Structure 1
Amino acid sequence: MNSVMLTLIGIAMVALGYLLYSHYIANRVFRLDPDFETPAHEFEDGVDYVPTNKYVLWGHHFTSVAGAAPIVGPAIAVIWGWLPAFLWVTLGTIFFAGAHDVGALWASARNKGQSIGTLSGRYIGGRGRNLFLVVIFLLLLMVNSAFAVVISGLLVSTPTAVIPTWGAIVVALCIGQAIYRLKWNLPVVSLVGVIALYALMILGDRFPIVLPDTILGLTANAFWIVVLFIYAGIASLLPVWMLLQPRDYINGLQLFIGLGILYVSILVSRPEIVAPAVNSNLPEGTPGIAPLLFVTIACGAVSGFHGVVASGTSSKQIDKETDERFVGYFGAVGEGLLALGTIIATTSGFAALADWEEVYKEFGEGGVTAFVEAGGQILNAGLAIPTSLSSTILATMAVLFAATTMDTGVRLQRYVVSEIGELFGRKPNAAVSTLIVIVVTLALSFSTGADGEGGMVIWPLFGTTNQLMAALTLSILAVMLTRKRRPITAIVLPLLFILVMTLLALVTQLGQYWSQQEWLLLALDAIILVCAVWVVLESALALARARNEPEDDETPAESTMKSTK
């Protein structure tokens, strides 16, 4: 098949999803109210609760939830063929991710900006809250540790991306001051910021930064990992308007432009897809497509991490409740388009099937490297961008996606540590919570050696943990909607599908780890499996209770708000 046809079909599908299905979700299911006072206004503090322009907030939300996962997952999953990956990404974005993401924003904003973990205690029960905290902590631990490895690897393998990666921080700090302190015009600030970022890419391409093999006793990769966590720790303590929000916003614009360049290159060069639609010549040892496709591609179809971000930072910045449709659903569309671009690049950016099979010679191969190299070839063929600069653009895209997710991830993990401390009556302050997060994550990173890649040991469990988190979030939404006597089909069907696929994937992986004698993964997989069964029982009980309770026309947050007026 020609890549242009697949591109147009995919874009048309997700565009129709946003134009049509998101309206149903917003108006009929969640009934977003433009007059509802959001937590950003009710608790405005200039640090975490900040009423934000919906376009700026979309940039923060989109880049925070995207990360490297919607590149890594699809770039690995195409080993089963491009058709299954394409269908799961497009349909998952439309019917799963959009409802999940808007719902997480709505549920948190209707409850004073509380996190999904806290909401689980209210709507699922005390045991449910403990379950959520375990799953969220594991998920964030995996994301922060693994993304640091991905970023450091790209900074070493593509040294031309070093200058734009770190220069983006300076650009973001300037943008934060320009928007919030100087009150400059947003479109002008946005244009200048994007130009600055692409100028940094050109500069980086001219002046690559190559580190020596050993720095302070650390390898180049390990050195970057330590620097990344020091930066992320500092960034997590700053007010969101100063760095996190403007960095995510300008990165979101740049990344969307980068996606646009990739898609235009596809339309111009019209490369043929060399990979099979359904691969019948799988390398030895490749697991079956079901259920693992649905956990290999999590981000880009539906992702529990989105619910953590939506309820952790984004819900505290919503200006109007009706903005949740744009921020949540269009954020999911952005990630779906990134996953779609990855599928097309990694199946058509090769000269022939034999070249593609050489890369995909065993399960787990491909990933970010395949995206950068194959996508670079498409950019070169379509727009005559030099191969080196093409690789710099795509590598910087991947790094900035992962880095903005790390920024948010460390801040969110700090919130989780505070919640855990609260359960034991000793809630640590922000600085102590951040220090705990950095120490624990670095300990995992260096647990397997001086290369700092210990986080990759538990990364194989990311997909199942992430999808379990999505099921937990959807279960809360189902209970809330049932109490309000709202339609729940749009939530329950994705919930059931994800639960079944996650349980099957966990059982499948359990057998793999047993045969491979991967005892750590085996133990963690067993814990996650117990949590998955647990959430089925807890959610079923909570739904049964909700059906028998009087109709709940308003949330506790709404009741409190009315009583104070």
Structure 2
Amino acid sequence: MDALIIVVLAFAGYIVMYNLYGRYIGRRIFALSGESPPPSVSMEDGVDYVPTKKEVIFGHHFTSIAGTGPIVGPAIAIIWGWVPALLWVFIGSIVMGAVHDFGALIISMRNQGKSISDYTSKYINSRTRFLFFLIVFLELWIVIAIFGLVIAIIFAMYPQSVLAVWVEVPIAMVLGYLVYKKGMGVMGLSIWAILLMYLAVFIGPYLPMKMPAIAGIPATGVWTIILMVYAFFASVLPVTALLQPRDFINSHQLVIAMVLLILGVLAAAFFGGLEIVAPAVQAQPAQAPPMWPFLFITIACGAISGFHSLVSSGTSAKQVRSEEDSLFVGYGSMLMEGALATLVIVAVAAGIGLGYTTKAGETLTGVAAWTTHYSSWAAAAGLGSKISAFVDGAANMINTIGIPKQFTLAIMAVFVASFAGTTLDTATRIQRYVLSELFTSLKMEVLTGKYVATFIAVGTAGILAFATGAGGKGALKLWPLFGAVNQTLAALALIVITLYLKTKGGLKWVVAGIPAVFMAVMTLWAAVMNQFKFGSQHNLLLQTINIVIIIIAAWIVIEGVVKFFSTDDIALDDARRVTSV
């Protein structure tokens, strides 16, 4: 029953805080207005700038920011206990993550849909703009390379998911054609689309697709190549051709998955003996780094993630059709991700206890199941381990409502892989925007075209993926840097939002300023600790890149502080919105 109580209280809290704190921020802090046309309207081009219904863009935005993030982070951070993981997700998503996402979105909408790295020069200075570009490029470089591998690993672990994930692509393109070219209603068609996709999900266990090695390239490498090619085409197509309709289908997937998980929690709590088997707090698990500060960089998506600022300012700001919709899209999506992360915590804290099969084939239940999977940091740290902890735990809970486990495994694996696919092609599209903005500022116009910039984005990620061999696992070399890089970006985005709000007068800046200070301290602390760790391992590559990250982050923080206390005013295009609290 404790798991059920957690879910009920957390969900009620998210709903209350959206209506209280979220609406307060939208109305009083950012002064949302419907008077000025957003860039999706004023700069509409049918490719990137497309005014979109808030329900559709909510689906696209949410699936883009989520990916496997709210699954992977909580599934490893619970090794420190379910209480600190849950508290960070709940509090972080409300007062930090949602403010960060919404702030980046609305500021971008008031700056022609430009990325946060581009409009940094307006709120700090031109020096920080280039440094910000470097952090963003590094983040997206790792994301594109690693998410191709993540999907490849899911396909290898759950071959029953392959059919449905790829069937979704033509279904989405047909949906996009009928909605945007033929003017048909999106809701009814999307329901038919999700039904067709779930038909493929239930066929999947009977037609598992295992990729063989080809020309000496192992399955993970083959899938990585295929996914990079897919990301290229998905990212240059108009958003209405694939991304929006696919992600609207994925938003239905989310609803179905969350409903199944909630029903699973209810059924398992009343009939299946669902109890939390993870420890409440485990301050010093075997081989793990200290909970402070690493909890706050291990759980990113679900609490606060710098990648979200890139989605908000990179793609969503070009599609939200009015400022009033931005609160639902930006703030609401983050709380929805917090709700998903809460269900993940329950799945890995309690669901795994309903049945866990070891590599030796032994089936364990209860505390023994959890302690075996989380016997040490190293045992639980692999991508496959994180994903399986959630998928298996969720499948156990859903199985209690009568759906055979082979199908529940397929449902959850397709859910995870589909969201990872969204992150992959959204990250590729954002990287294209970032490179185009950078090349434009450097007067290198020949490199600003969408095909050339996308080829550079995919090509550089491909080089990283295959840097260590044909398995496509090269990004794992830089993966230890990702948490600190991602949360450093979150801190820097909050600094920009703080400076923007300071120009509005009064104490509006506090809602972003306090989270900015907290995240800057946590991430720089973690980065410095990582530097000592990489040094003890004699890892010159990670040492070099990590010290560069520390220098860039410290530089931007110092520039931000100087700007904050400067008496100079920032010239704002949207000065008409300046109001006092």
Query: Which bin holds the TM-score, normalised by the shorter protein?
Result: over 0.9
Structure 1 residue aligned with 2:456: 436
Moved more, 196-205 or 163-172: 196-205
Of the three residues 358, 377, 381, the one matched with 1:363 is: 377
Does the 8 Å contact 2:41/2:49 carry over to 1?
yes
How far apart, CA to CA, are the structure 1 residues paired with 2:102 and 2:283? 38
Structure 2 residue aligned with 1:449: 469
Does the 8 Å contact 2:283/2:290 carry over to 1?
no
Structure 2 residue aligned with 1:352: 366
State the identity %: 39
Gaps of 5+ in 2: 354-364, 577-581
SS of alignment partner, residue 45 of structure 1: coil
Structure 1 residue aligned with 2:158: 158
TM-score normalized with structure 1 length: 0.95
Does the 8 Å contact 2:100/2:512 carry over to 1?
yes
Structure 1 residue aligned with 2:488: 468
Indicate yes or no: 2:357 matched with 1:377.
no
Of the three residues 380, 385, 404, the one matched with 1:386 is: 404
Does the 8 Å contact 1:81/1:275 carry over to 2?
yes
How many residues align? The count is 553
How far apart, CA to CA, are the structure 1 residues paired with 2:568 and 2:320? 30
Indicate yes or no: 2:262 matched with 1:242.
no
Of the three residues 301, 311, 314, the one matched with 1:299 is: 301
Cα displacement string for residues 246-285 of structure 1 (whole angstroms, at most 9, x for unaligned residues): 11111122122212211210111111000110025622x2
How far apart, CA to CA, are the structure 1 residues paired with 2:548 and 2:259? 42
- How much has 1:558 moved relative to structure 2? 6.7
Cα displacement string for residues 226-247 of structure 1 (whole angstroms, at most 9, x for unaligned residues): 0000000011110111111111
Of the three residues 328, 331, 335, the one matched with 2:330 is: 328
How far apart, CA to CA, are the structure 2 residues paired with 1:282 and 1:467? 23
Does the 8 Å contact 2:284/2:290 carry over to 1?
no
- How much has 1:435 moved relative to structure 2? 1.1
How far apart, CA to CA, are the structure 2 residues paired with 1:458 and 1:256? 34
Q: How does 1:399-548 map to 2 (within 5 A)?
A: 399-427=417-445, 428=447, 429-486=449-506, 487-545=508-566, 548=567
Indicate yes or no: 2:199 matched with 1:233.
no
Structure 1 residue aligned with 2:356: none
- How much has 1:216 moved relative to structure 2? 2.9
Structure 1 residue aligned with 2:193: 193
Does the 8 Å contact 1:483/1:549 carry over to 2?
no
How far apart, CA to CA, are the structure 1 residues paired with 2:14 and 2:302? 12
How far apart, CA to CA, are the structure 2 residues paired with 1:206 and 1:319? 43
SS of alignment partner, residue 322 of structure 1: helix
Moved more, 43-52 or 474-483: 474-483
Indicate yes or no: 2:321 matched with 1:319.
yes
How far apart, CA to CA, are the structure 1 residues paired with 2:211 and 2:300? 34
Task: Kindly report structure 1 stretches of 4+ aligned residues shifted beyond 6 Å.
Answer: none
Cα displacement string for residues 310-331 of structure 1 (whole angstroms, at most 9, x for unaligned residues): 1111001111111000000111
| 1:42 alignment partner AA | S
SS of alignment partner, residue 505 of structure 2: coil
Q: How does 1:28-427 map to 2 (within 5 A)?
A: 28-212=28-212, 214-270=213-269, 271-279=274-282, 282-283=285-286, 285-349=287-351, 350=353, 351-364=365-378, 365=380, 366-381=385-400, 383-427=401-445
- How much has 1:420 moved relative to structure 2? 2.5
RMSD: 1.5
Does the 8 Å contact 1:110/1:558 carry over to 2?
no
Does the 8 Å contact 1:305/1:469 carry over to 2?
yes
How far apart, CA to CA, are the structure 2 residues paired with 1:377 and 1:159? 19
